[in-house]
Chains A and B, each alone.
Chain A
Amino acid sequence: MLSKRIIPCLDVKDGRTVKGVNFVDLRDAGDPVELAWQYSQQGADELVFLDIAATHEKRKTTLDMVKAVARQVNIPFTIGGGISELKDAEALLNAGADKISINSAAVRRPELINELANAFGVQFVVLAVDTKHLPQGDFVHLNGGRIPTEIQTQHWIKEAESRGAGEILLTSMDKDGTKSGFDNILLKEINDMVTIPVIASGGAGNEQDFIDVFQKSDVDAALAASVFHYGEILIPELKALLKQNNIAVRI
């Protein structure tokens, strides 16, 4: 049976991880390669790296990091941040990235999704969507939730799927950072609407939140950052608990 995936997310800047990480036996908490290796050993199913300061000048640093991760780590990983052209994506593919994630560049120019899917296959293209609930409905936001758009989240995700997005990474800006659980209602609505995998993001605070998101929304994967980095949730324990709750996980 296809397992549900647990995905730690690492924020990187200039080739270094930025959010605090609290593993006991870590020599260098800022080294994304060592962190990625640790997570793969703990049973993470996949990794996402978000390059939060990606610019053309810094691109080479990112590529060096991607290559180093691909050399060391035996699970798939996605790179997001600053990808707006085919050549950005191609360089990441050649450096060993399994997928790339695009967000605001796709909102600004939706054809980017078609171009990437045609060039590299739909499985390579993850569409990241930051969404916020407003009185009129759910709307796509840019720049980490700071800039609202008039694009309805559900509408955008359907369009992206038809353009060739292979996976949706949906972050609820209402939930992100609150540790109050994933937005299971919206995630279920989106998951039922598309025929591509959906990754839940935003709101993970404890192990029950992961049980809930899989049981209530049936998404394919759940992503979190700080709860893993600070050791508040240990992946082997989380997976054992998910299994006890009859959720298919790779152990």
Chain B
Amino acid sequence: MIGIVNYGAGNIFSLTSALERLNIQYGMINQESDFDLYEKIIIPGVGHAGAAMQKLTESGLVPAIKALKKPVLGICVGMQLITSYSEEGDSNLLDIIPVKTLRFKEEISHKVPHMGWNQIYPENDSPIFSKIAPGTYFYFVHSYFIEFNPKFTAATCNYGIKFSAGIQKDNFYAVQFHPEKSGEAGEQLLKNFANL
């Protein structure tokens, strides 16, 4: 069963709907002891990374998250939280995976936000990208991106610059796109995580 960290950063109805369509059981994590109820953990999130980090800190769940040995999946801003730092609000984040979240605008001449379907290319044989072919399209909506890192990048994407569409370190996994909105490919990724 999957536990979703419920810290108030964005709407999770689409995520829970996707899990229901896939018959994946889930529940909500509101306090530290709830982590014991689940085998896997999802950290969702939309909006401002700094604001999301503040909400997560206020929830009191940060130490427990950093100590997790179970598989964890961060989605969108939930992914950015797992990194060390974001240029959005000059924010220090969980620092679970030592990479940075940077702003697109200074780096590229493309439109920002990066919104729509873009292709990803799995790297480093990350199991959450199992059965997902290079060049598969996923749905992205974001203005900040996670830098490419040869060690921690689990999938790349190109938008004027090559960035991390997925990252992984040990039991921590994270994706920038929205698997719950990415058609069959997104459902495959959620199944991969549920089956870890």
Contact = CB atoms under 8 A, between A and B. Distances in A.
Specify whether A and B are partners. yes
B147 interface: no
Nearest to B110: A2
A40 B183 contact: yes
Contacts of B112: 195-196
A195 B183 CA distance: 27
B123 interface: no
Interface stretch (A69-77, A103-111, A207-215): A69-77
B139 A197 contact: no
Given A96-B11, A96-B17, A121-B48, A45 B117 contact: yes
A2 B159 contact: yes
A93 B18 CA distance: 16
Nearest to A167: B115
Interface in A61-110: 67, 70-72, 74-76, 93-96, 98
B70 interface: no
A94 B16 CA distance: 12
Contacts of A96: 11, 13-14, 17
B118 interface: yes
A122 B186 contact: no
A140 B65 CA distance: 50
Nearest to B141: A123
Interface string B112-151: 1111111100000000000000000101011100000000
Interface in A115-137: 120-123
A220 interface: yes
Contacts of A75: 139, 181-183
Given A3-B137, A96-B17, A197 B116 contact: yes
Interface in B40-55: 46-48
User: Quick one: which of B21, B46, B116 has the most chain A CB within 10 A?
Assistant: B116
Contact of A2 (B13, B46, B117, B178): B117
Contact of B14 (A45, A70, A123): A70
Contact of B137 (A72, A74, A194, A250): A250
Contacts of A2: 110, 114, 116-118, 159
Interface string A137-168: 00000000000000000000000000000110
Interface residues of B, number: 35
| Chain A interface size, under 10 / 10 to 19 / 20 to 34 / 35 or more | 20 to 34
User: Quick one: which of B14, B113, B115, B182 has the most chain A CB within 10 A?
Assistant: B115
Majority DSSP secondary structure for residues of A touching B: loop
A5 B137 CA distance: 12
Given A67-B13, A76-B139, A121 B46 contact: yes
A95 B17 CA distance: 11
Contacts of A194: 111
A251 B184 CA distance: 12
A71 B20 contact: yes
B116 A1 contact: no
Nearest to A2: B118
Nearest to B159: A2
Contacts of A242: none
A68 to B, nearest CB: 10
Given A96-B17, A123-B113, A1 B118 contact: yes
B158 interface: yes
A197 B116 CA distance: 9
Contacts of B20: 71
Contacts of A221: 116
Contact of B111 (A45, A67, A220): A220
Contact of B115 (A67, A70, A166, A250): A166
Contacts of B137: 3, 250
Interface of A: 1-3, 5, 40, 45, 67, 70-72, 74-76, 93-96, 98, 120-123, 166-167, 194-197, 220-221, 250
6 contacts: A70-B14, A74-B18, A96-B14, A123-B115, A123-B142, A196-B112
